Structure 1
Amino acid sequence: MQQIKTFLMFEGGAEKAMTFYLSLFEDAEVVSMVKYGAEGPGPEGSVMVAVFRLAGQQFMCSDSYQHHGFTFTPSMSLFVDCADEAELDRLYGALVEGGGALMPLGDYGFSKKFGWVNDRFGVSWQLNLPHA
């Protein structure tokens, strides 16, 4: 059966980002991780490819060993429907730290509360508290 996964390509810091994301969700785990060895082509110990799970959704990530003329953009973001306001506030606070707010927490009319951030690694997150 086919699966669609989000793939996050970092220029260094993939393991730190993955570890940070895993700390934010109760239902989270590393499924697999392969690191570059001394033979490369990436820096030894950096992530060749990793698969991790957050809230039932699988993601992949890697450390690119080549510089690219692009990075993450808010036009593609991870959208999280939160169970309650406490969860929304906790995630927003953790994700905005070292990053930046695109839309501060507020009532924008389409849900009870919403916020949009770029985290410290450049990944964009939309955090939502849906109407009941």
Structure 2
Amino acid sequence: MSSSFIQPYLFFGGRCEEALEFYKTAIGAETQMLMRYSDSPDPMPPGMLPEGYESKVMHASFKVGSSVILASDGCGGEESKGFRAFSLSLALPDAAATDRVFSALAEGGSVNMPLGETFWSSRFGMLQDKFGMGWMITIDPGADPKYKNA
């Protein structure tokens, strides 16, 4: 199945637009598309959306490097209650970029493992951002001078 691929779809429980702006600043994300519930050509089924969600994000896509991530505010249900049991892994071109992005994503969040040297990378760390998204930040193994020839 050469045309198959997995694409993350993140639900932000009413904070999608805020998350897109945060990721734009923190990691250089570029919003490619944004559609609000009020823009839908078909009306939402009665009772599907919480009151006030008409202007929330029904569907968005944003690009980080060559990766495209999909996002939404969700419909206020279980899908919007945080991120569990996975993290997004972000490989950056050098130590300076790794340090800058780690600090930016950690703002308002919590650090699970501070940036440091590991046996596989000269810079690796884990955190949870202010939206509850888990991140693993590292130097791209192909660009890591210490491990490039390992």
| TM-score for both structures, normalised by structure 1 | 0.87
Uncovered stretches (5+) of structure 1, i.e. residues with no partner: none
**Unaligned 5+ residue runs, structure 2?**
142-146
The share of aligned pairs that are identical, in percent, is: 32
1:109 deviates by 1.9
Q: Distance in 1 between matches of 2:8 and 2:71?
A: 8
Tell me the distance in 2 between the aligned counterparts of 1:9 and 1:20.
15
Q: Which moved more, 1:98-107 or 1:61-70?
A: 61-70
- After the TM superposition, which residues 6-21 of structure 1 pair with which residues of structure 2 at under 5 Å, given as runs? 6-21=8-23
Runs of 4+ in 1 over 3 A off after TM superposition: 38-42
Q: Is the 8 A contact 2:14 2:76 kept in 1?
A: no
Instruction: State the AA in 2 paired with 1:36.
Output: Y
- Residues 71-123 of structure 1, C-alpha deviation per residue, up to 9 Å, x if partnerless? 202x3111111111110110110011100011111112221111101001111
Shift of 1:17: 0.7
Structure 2 counterpart SS, 1:37:
helix
2:94 is the counterpart of 1:96? no
1:18 Cα offset (Å): 1.4
The answer to whether the 8 Å contact 1:107/1:114 transfers is: yes
Asked whether the 8 Å contact 2:82–2:131 carries over to 1, the reply is no
Q: Decide which structure has greater helix share.
A: 2
Segment of structure 1 superposing worse, 89-98 or 64-73: 64-73
Instruction: Say yes or no: does 1:114 pair with 2:124.
Output: yes
- Deviations along 1:3-49, whole A, 9 cap, x unmatched? 421100111111111121122344x4222111022966541210001
Partner Cα separation in structure 2 for residue 20 and residue 66 of structure 1: 21
Aligned-pair Cα RMSD in Å: 2.0
One-letter amino acid matched to 1:15 = E
Instruction: Indicate which of 72, 80, 87 corresponds to 2:83.
Output: 72
Q: What CA distance in whole angstroms lies between the structure 2 residues aligned with 1:24 and 1:56?
A: 16
Task: Please tell me whether the aligned partners of residues 25 and 55 of structure 1 are also in contact (alpha carbons under 8 angstroms).
Answer: no
